[in-house]
Amino acid sequence: MTSMQPLWWFALPVLLLPVWWHMRKRERTRTDILATARFVPAAAPQQQRVLRWSDVLLLLVRMALLVVLIAWLAVLVMPWKGDTVFIDPSLESSPWAAQQVQTAGMGAAAREPLPGDLWNWLARNEHEWRPDARFLILASRAAMPALPPRLAHAAELRLAPSATAAQPPVSVAAMPATPRKRHIVVSAPAERLPRWQALFAAFSTAADGVNLYVLSDSPTTGTELIVWDHPGNEPPSSWKAPLWWRTAAANGQTQTPQGLAWTATHWPLQDVDAARALYERWQAATAQMATYPMPAQTMKAGRKNPLSAALARSPEWLALALLALFAIERILTHARRR
């Protein structure tokens, strides 16, 4: 409830409507003329209105329905946030961050943690900010997006100075290559296990020794490949890995609940060219795309209005509560009439 537009709460006097409606006298009494009334002098009837509470449960349900409706509209319709500083949690207590906030004139601005997917997150959620709001982004590093960000608010990206920025650059050729350990599980008969070990030893020396393949006989959370060299036998159901090499009757590729399986008729490969092709295919399938850093910059508003906010972005419990209260109100109203 703290994130709602405060102005919507000025609509709370609407709650007096069901109170006024319930306190009205809505029942009409039937009057019959007595036979002896002809002997009594005629007099104009007088009525005295008595305020009394009726159907208290129905009254409370209707008031709750209005409160939830106001809250739902406050979330969906009106922007409520002003100037905001998005800051990397690692820079929260740094003097550099405090200095940047003061120099930008946003000392009174609200602070929020830096989202992971910053630009996409802002594009989806900036409808919550007022049109005159500004964004100050303080990060140690920001990934370069594929396309320039187009927001409806002005944003300024400032990057923290790196501790290694002042050091002289080191030649890549002079830096020793640090092998990256990659955990592999090999399950094979004893007569073929040395061949698998020799194959992965050759893979470890490929690409200037960048990868170091560590073989084990049972998978862990860090296992990226399982070699199952038991034709006709199924692996344990608890074994899971992103990629499997399995011996089968035909070559192919199959997606299984335990992971993606590459099958071949003869494992391990003895031909050098076939082993090289397998290695290149494996590395291409598991290669990680490198991200380029985004330089510090000031960006003007690239669009007039934020992207439209879907109704699904409202809290689900508000929509469910609104539906439930409406159903209860209809049931109580029907029961009251009967």
- DSSP for 204-240, please give it: HHGGGGTEEEEEESS--TTEEEEEE--TT-PPPTT--
First to last CA, the chain: 38
Provide the pLDDT for residue 175.
43
Measured CA to CA, the distance from residue 3 to residue 269 in angstroms comes to: 61
Provide the pLDDT for residue 185.
93
- The alpha carbon of residue 45 and the mean position of all alpha carbons in its chain are separated, in whole angstroms, by 68
Tokens of 98: 């405090």
84 vs 19, 97, 104, 153, CA distance in Å? 41, 14, 11, 11
Write out the H or E segment, with its range, that includes residue 307: none
pTM comes to 0.47
Tokens of 105: 């004139």
Residue 96, SS3 per DSSP: helix
> Does a cis peptide bond (omega within 30 degrees of 0) precede residue 268?
yes
Provide the pLDDT for residue 52.
62
Provide the pLDDT for residue 105.
94
Measured CA to CA, the distance from residue 138 to residue 114 in angstroms comes to: 8
Residue 203, SS3 per DSSP: helix
Write out the H or E segment, with its range, that includes residue 200: helix 193-205
Give Cβ neighbours of residue 19 (< 8 Å, ≥ 6 apart): 59, 63
Measured CA to CA, the distance from residue 314 to residue 309 in angstroms comes to: 9
258 vs 43, 246, 250, 282, CA distance in Å? 93, 12, 19, 18
What is the Cα Rg of the chain in Å?
36
Tens place of pLDDT per residue across the chain (338 aa)? 334 445 566 777 777 777 777 666 555 555 666 777 667 777 666 655 555 666 788 888 888 888 888 777 766 656 778 999 999 998 988 999 999 999 999 999 999 999 988 898 898 888 889 899 999 999 998 888 878 889 999 999 999 987 434 444 444 344 445 667 889 999 999 888 898 888 888 888 776 566 788 898 889 888 999 999 988 889 998 999 999 999 888 888 888 889 999 988 877 777 788 888 888 888 888 776 666 788 999 999 988 888 765 544 556 677 788 889 989 988 888 887 76
Give Cβ neighbours of residue 90 (< 8 Å, ≥ 6 apart): 140
For 180-286, CATH number?
Answer: 3.40.50
Provide the pLDDT for residue 106.
93
Provide the pLDDT for residue 7.
59
CB count, 10 Å around CB of 327? Answer: 11
- The alpha carbon of residue 26 and the mean position of all alpha carbons in its chain are separated, in whole angstroms, by 51
Measured CA to CA, the distance from residue 176 to residue 196 in angstroms comes to: 28
Residue 193 sits at the vertex; the CA angle it makes with 269 and 177, to the nearest 5 degrees, is: 75
Provide the pLDDT for residue 168.
47
Give Cβ neighbours of residue 121 (< 8 Å, ≥ 6 apart): 115
CB 228 within 8 A of CB 247: yes
> Does the CA dihedral 195-199-205-211 come out positive or negative?
negative
CB 297 within 8 A of CB 115: no
- Report the candidate in 146, 156, 151, 107 with the shortest Cα–Cα distance to residue 128: 151
